[in-house]
Structure 1
Amino acid sequence: MSSRPLLVLLSLVTLLLATPAGAVDGNALLKQLDRNLEPESYEMYRKLINIEPDGRRKEYVLYTVKKGRDKMVALFLDPPSDKGRATLRLGDNMWLYIPSVGKPLRITSLQSVVGGVFNNADILALDYSVEYNVDKAEEAGNSYVLALKARTASVAYDRLKMWVDKAAVLPVTIEAYAASGLLIKTLHFKDIKDFGGGIKRPATMETDSPLYKGYKSVMLYSSIRARSFPDEVFTLNYLPRAGELR
């Protein structure tokens, strides 16, 4: 058995031993889900597709790197009109670098550098356990159902309701809500794929929103692997050189 599956098994055993019978330790479960989705530090290739009500599509290809709990860079590879653009996230702060502008511009989590239903918080998503506490966790058939509350007001969604597959400890559906209780969007996780290195997770994430009727956005993951990076990579000065990471 490789070290990663063994660590997952030990974490689940620890979770069961530390939790009273019939109870679910939601925060421990959420941390395990984060690690099942991706390593703490990694590189990743993915495609984002925006689909309009009339069927028109716009596609983007991104190369993304992450270090630890709060550092992330995403580089646009396609379409040609966006090639070389790069985004940086450091905690709650985000920037967009556009080669023709020549300097990073501040962006917010609720804006979207690609349009469509995905916002910047979805594209530059940190671990769920970094941004949310579990208020309530319960079992429902083959799923856990978690009620999550944002740790700070700067998080894009005030509350999440998450359905988690019990066996895989992976998300199936997530509903995202504003502080007012308004449903902002729903995320659907599909197509479990073995990416190697002990990473077996959904390869497709779709989102729809009652605020954007008829529109849909899809995120397709083609490659994820653990990789370490120096802190220099996650600085404003390095953004123009993000392409050197590939």
Structure 2
Amino acid sequence: MRQHRWSAWSGALVAAMLALSAPVALALDGDEILRQVDRRLNPESYEMYRKLINIEPDGRKKEFVLFSVKKGRDAMIALFLDPPSEKGRATLRLGDNMWLYIPNVGKPLRITSLQSVVGGVFNNADILGLDYSVEYKTEKAEQQGNNYLLDLKARTAAVAYDHLTMRVDRATLAPIEIEAYAASGLLIKTLRFKDIKDFGNGIKRPATMETDSPLYKGYKSVMIYANIKPRTLPDEVFTLDYLPRAGELR
């Protein structure tokens, strides 16, 4: 009888402990998932090459090649290498502030996140993108089969999109698709990530990002990534005075 009572009491205790721990075990830390997504996409400080392709409804294409460097959480430069008409142009982002340098024009010009220095569906916020966890916080995170679904809210009104829904592959922690919305709830664009590639240095991420928008029917833009690798740069590089010399970074 004592053995029976002990077994019953032990079983009840274990069941109670499991019940108490279950919510903790099942809870998802969306902000931590988002930070892991950022590190899967890029090192914190790096250099890379990208090709941007704008595709019009009639099939015509315009291509750009950019060399970019980023330092820490809020500093990035993108230098235009091609086409020849754009060569030497450079953009700088420091936090929410952005500038465009055009050779022989004088001092850099202020630009905004929703403008686009290349035209097409990608805007300056996409081209000079910071870590998602810098600009967004997670309002909801849930597991859906082999994916995580994150609902993200902009930390400030200066961010290009008011909120995002991000679908993340659970195995690789790489984004699969992002829907970007205005504060009104209007869908601005959808970003799709494809072609997982090993870039070395522990960087294994999508090599292609495509976007389209219900606001630009029939238009499509593609960003292809190459040669992503960690790089350490001094703070002086990310200044307006240095921007005309951005070509020296290659």
Query: What does residue 32 of structure 2 align with?
Result: 28
Deviations 1:146-175 (A, max 9, x none): 000000000000000000000000100000
Residue 105 (str. 1) matches residue 113 (str. 2): no
Deviation at 1:100, TM superposition (A): 2.5
Consecutive unaligned residues in structure 2, runs of 5 or more: 1-20
Separation in 1 of the partners of 2:85 and 2:141?
A: 45
Percent identity, aligned pairs only, is 79
Residue 124 (str. 1) matches residue 128 (str. 2): yes
With the length of structure 2 as denominator, give the TM-score of the two structures. 0.91
Residue 177 (str. 1) matches residue 194 (str. 2): no
Residue 75 (str. 1) matches residue 79 (str. 2): yes
**Aligned with 2:165 (options 156, 161, 164):** 161
Count, aligned residues = 229
With the length of structure 1 as denominator, give the TM-score of the two structures. 0.92
Residue 191 (str. 1) matches residue 187 (str. 2): no
Deviation at 1:102, TM superposition (A): 2.3
Give the SS at the match of 2:241.
Answer: helix
Separation in 1 of the partners of 2:35 and 2:226?
A: 23
- Tell me the amino acid that sits aligned with residue 212 of structure 2: D
Give the SS at the match of 1:118.
Answer: coil
Deviation at 1:103, TM superposition (A): 1.4
- Tell me the amino acid that sits aligned with residue 203 of structure 1: A
Deviations 1:167-191 (A, max 9, x none): 0001000000000000000000000
Query: What does residue 11 of structure 1 align with?
Result: none
Residue 95 (str. 1) matches residue 99 (str. 2): yes
Deviations 1:116-151 (A, max 9, x none): 000000000000000000000000000000000000
Residue 146 (str. 1) matches residue 150 (str. 2): yes
Deviations 1:19-69 (A, max 9, x none): 821111000110011001000000000000000000000000000000000
**Runs of 4+ in structure 1 over 3 Å off:** none
Consecutive unaligned residues in structure 1, runs of 5 or more: 1-16
Give the SS at the match of 2:121.
Answer: coil
